[in-house]
Chain A
Amino acid sequence: MEKVKIMIVDDSRVSRTMLANELNRTNFDVVAQAKDAAEAVRLYEETHPSLVTMDMNLPDADGIECSRRIYDIDPSAKIVMISAMKDASLITRGREVGISAFLQKPVNTNELIDTLMTLCQTEIGKVAVLRDSYAKAFVRALSQGIFSIAGLHSEVQLELDNRRFIDVSGVAVIIGLTGYPQGRAIFYMDKETLHKFSAIMLGKERVDDVAEEEASEAVEEAANIIIGRGISNINNVFKDREVRITPPGTISGTNIRIASPKLTTFRIEAVTPAGNIYMNIGFAEGE
C-alpha cells in the first residue's frame, strides 16, 4: 500500500523526532516537520501532506490559528490536534476552524495511528482505485507509445502527485477526459527534450532542422497517440463505460504553471535517451 504523507507541527524538536520515528515505522511517510505556524504553512504548501499532526503550543500562533491558516490554503486538509489539555472550549474552537480529531499528550502510538488511519481512509481507498484502474493504463501507453513513435526505450515510473502545480518550460499538451472518470491528461517536456524528441520523431538528422512550430506539432501528435492509447486500455477493461478524449490544447512558453484544483493527480515520468517525458493524469474526485 502507498505510504501516507504526513506533516508534524510541534515546537519541541524532541517531540517531533519521537513522533517521526514512530510514524516512519508504519504506513506513514513524514514529509515535513515544522517548529512554528509560519513554517507549517510554508511546508504545507510545499509538500501538500495528506495528514497533519498539530501541537497546540507554538511560538508564533496557537495550533488552532495555525490550522485555520492551513484550511485557508486547503479546505480539505486533515488535521489532528494534539494538546496537553483537552477541554471543551479547546475542542469547540478547534471544531469551528474545521479540526475533526483531538488527542491528549502523552499520545499513545496505537491511538494516534488509529486516528490518523480513520481520517485518511476514504482518501486512500479512492486513490488506490484511480491508480490501479486508470493511471496504470497510461504507464503502459507511455512506454509503448514512446517506443512505437520514436523507437526509444524508456524507464517509466508512476507516483501520486500532490504538487499543486506542474511547472513547464517547453511544451505541454492538455487533453481533456470526458465520461467516467472525468479529468484531463497533460503530456509535457522541457524545451531541449522537445527538440530532440521531435527531431527523432520526424527523422531529422539535426535538432536545428526542426522548426519550433513543427516540433510542437510533433509532440501534440505524440500526446494524442499516447493518451488515446491509454484511454483504449481503460475502455477495453471497463466495457460498460466509455471515456472520450477532447482535441488537444497545446501550451508553449517558459515558466508556465498548470494547476488543476480538486483533481487527484498522478505523475508519470519516462526517462528516455532524448530526455525526460512527463505525463500528469488527473481525475475529478468522487463519482
Chain B
Amino acid sequence: MKTRPLTLTVNGRRHGPLDIPEGLMLIDVLHEWLDLTGTRFGCGQGVCRACTVIVDDADGSREMRTCITGAHWFDGKQIRTVEGHATRDAAGAVTAVSPVQQAFLDHYSFQCGYCTPGFVNAATVLVERLAKAPIAKADVEAMVGAALEPHLCRCTGYVRYYEAVRDLVLRTPGLVKENA
C-alpha cells in the first residue's frame, strides 16, 4: 500500500503532514484520521451529497464531494466542514451558530439530521456566492432550488430546507438586488 504525505487545513486548523494511502477518499481521512464525522457518508458515489465540504480558494468557496474525491487532491487546500461553521468555546461547545444554521433551526428544516451537513455547506456556498453576485428577487427561488437540488434528504420533503434558505437570502442585506 503506497502512501504519501498529506497536508491540509480544515476549519482553520492545519493538519499534517499525514501519511495517507494513495487512492483513499477524503471522507475516510476526515472520519478515521481527524475524527470529523459530521461530513456524512451517504452513497459513496457522489449522488446524495451528504459528504459535501467547502473548499476555499482565491475564487471563493465551492462544494466538493469527499466520497468520490481522493484525499490527496486536497493537499495544501483549505476546507470547511460542518463542524467549522459555528463559534465554539474552548471546550468545543457551540456558543453561536452561523446564519445558515440558525435559519435551519428556526425553520425546523431537518429531522434525522444525517444530510444536514451537506445542506449547511451548500447553502453557505450559495450565500457567499450571492454576496459577491447578488440576484434579482424574482430569481431567488430558482437559485435556491438549483443550489439544493443535488442534495438528497429522505426525511423532510425539502420544503423547510428550501424555505429557510430562501428566507435567509431575502432578508440578508446584499444578496438580492434591491431594484431588480
Q: Is B a genuine binding partner of A? A: no
Mark B residues whose CB is within 8 Å of A: none
